Amino acid sequence: MKRTAIITGASSGIGAAAASMFLDAGFAVINISRRPCPITGVTDLCGDLSNPKSVQELARTLSLQLAETQPSSVCLVHNAALMLKDTADSTDDSSLAKVLQINTLAINNLNRELLPLMPSGSSVLFVGSTLSEKAVKGAFSYVVSKHAQLGMMRATCQDLMGRGIHTALICPGFTDTEMLRNHIGQDQKIIEAISAMNSFGRLVEPEEIARLIFWSHSNPVINGAVLHGNLGQVEH
Ligand SMILES: NC(=O)c1ccc[n+]([C@@H]2O[C@H](COP(=O)([O-])OP(=O)(O)OC[C@H]3O[C@@H](n4cnc5c(N)ncnc54)[C@H](OP(=O)(O)O)[C@@H]3O)[C@@H](O)[C@H]2O)c1
């Protein structure tokens, strides 16, 4: 009957920070990623979300676990994502398909299998991005997939009407994680430039987004909402 948090991509960054927070609050925490979660006490279900077969197996294993443990509530956090550098005039279908597989289809598969087993009081939280609602150049497939997550969250909210399960899209700004640092090539000048793009002159910490995720689970009043966590980003 223990409350359970299922978090994709808790091997690093925002997901790992969220896993730590749910664990401290007494949740059973399950991580889904290729590498294990570095936090002791988190159960790893290692798998590759870019592989539909692997996602199907993960979903099956998870649904058996939920059927057996019957948690009093489940927080399902769709956090894992792939970000490529690509553009609208050069992206081939296979690379767009890979991004959509991880960032949208894997979410759909997990939702389809797990939602029937999630009791009232559960939540489905999507970690989107500032780029769920706007675009920048050079991140075509990521922008497409993050906009799709906004639609998925809103449609899920409508389709779950009356079931006592709420949804939200949490949209981080520039957050100090592997994804950001890999994307900008660990370039300190770019870090300083993007840090200057908000009111506080710094990057968002993964724990700040984790707090938003954790808070969102226990506040169903936000059902269907988009929550931005970007320190007040400069609009261009
Ligand atoms: N950092 C930012 O500035 C920023 C801004 C806006 C939105 N976000 C969003 O925040 C979320 C978390 O990202 P992060 O910044 O915390 O980055 P991160 O530290 O790089 O974490 C990404 C996570 O996704 C997992 N993942 C990636 N590909 C996977 C695959 N094929 N199969 C399974 N797991 C996979 C990774 O696990 P493995 O490598 O172990 O598989 C890792 O745990 C993402 O949805 C991202 O779009 C981040």
Transcribe 180-206 into DSSP letters.
HHHHTTT-HHHHHHHHTTBTTSSPBPH
Dihedrals phi, psi of 49, to nearest 5 degrees? -70, -10
* Confidence category of residue 186, pLDDT binned at 50, 70, 90: confident
Rounded to an integer, the average pLDDT of 149-162 is 98
Q: How far is the CA of 18 from the centre of ligand 1 (A)?
A: 12
pLDDT in tens, 88-101: 999 999 999 999 99
Q: What does the pLDDT look like over 107-142, one tens digit per residue?
A: 999 999 999 999 999 999 999 999 999 999 999 999
- 15 within ligand 1 shell (Cβ under 6 A): yes
Q: Is residue 185 very low, low, confident or very high in pLDDT (cuts 50, 70, 90)?
A: confident
User: Measured from the CB, is residue 85 less than 6 Å from ligand 1?
Assistant: no
Tell me what percent of the residues of the chain surpass a pLDDT of 70. Answer: 99
- What is the whole-number distance in angstroms between the Cα of residue 162 and the centre of ligand 1? 31
What pLDDT digit, counting tens, does each position of 14-33 carry? Answer: 999 999 999 999 999 999 99
The label of the residue with tokens 């090539």 reads 185
For residue 236, is pLDDT > 80? no
Domains of the chain: 4-229 (3.40.50.720)
Closest ligand 1 atom, residue 79 Cα: 45
How many other C-beta atoms are found inside a 10 Å radius of the C-beta of residue 147?
18
Q: Looking at the predicted structure, is the pLDDT value of residue 1 above 70?
A: no
- Whole-angstrom distance, CA of residue 84 vs CA of residue 72: 38
Q: Average of pLDDT values for 42-70?
A: 98
Ligand 1 centroid vs 25 CA: distance in angstroms? 23
Q: How far is the CA of 207 from the centre of ligand 1 (A)?
A: 14
And the tokens for 139? 């991140």
Instruction: Tell me the average pLDDT of the chain.
Output: 97
For position 201, what pLDDT does the model report?
96
Q: Ligand 1: does its nearest atom lie under 6 Å from the Cβ of 122?
A: no
Closest protein CA for atom 1 of ligand 1: 175
Compute the distance between CA of residue 11 and CA of residue 29 in angstroms, rounded to an integer.
Answer: 12
Residue 165 confidence (pLDDT): 98
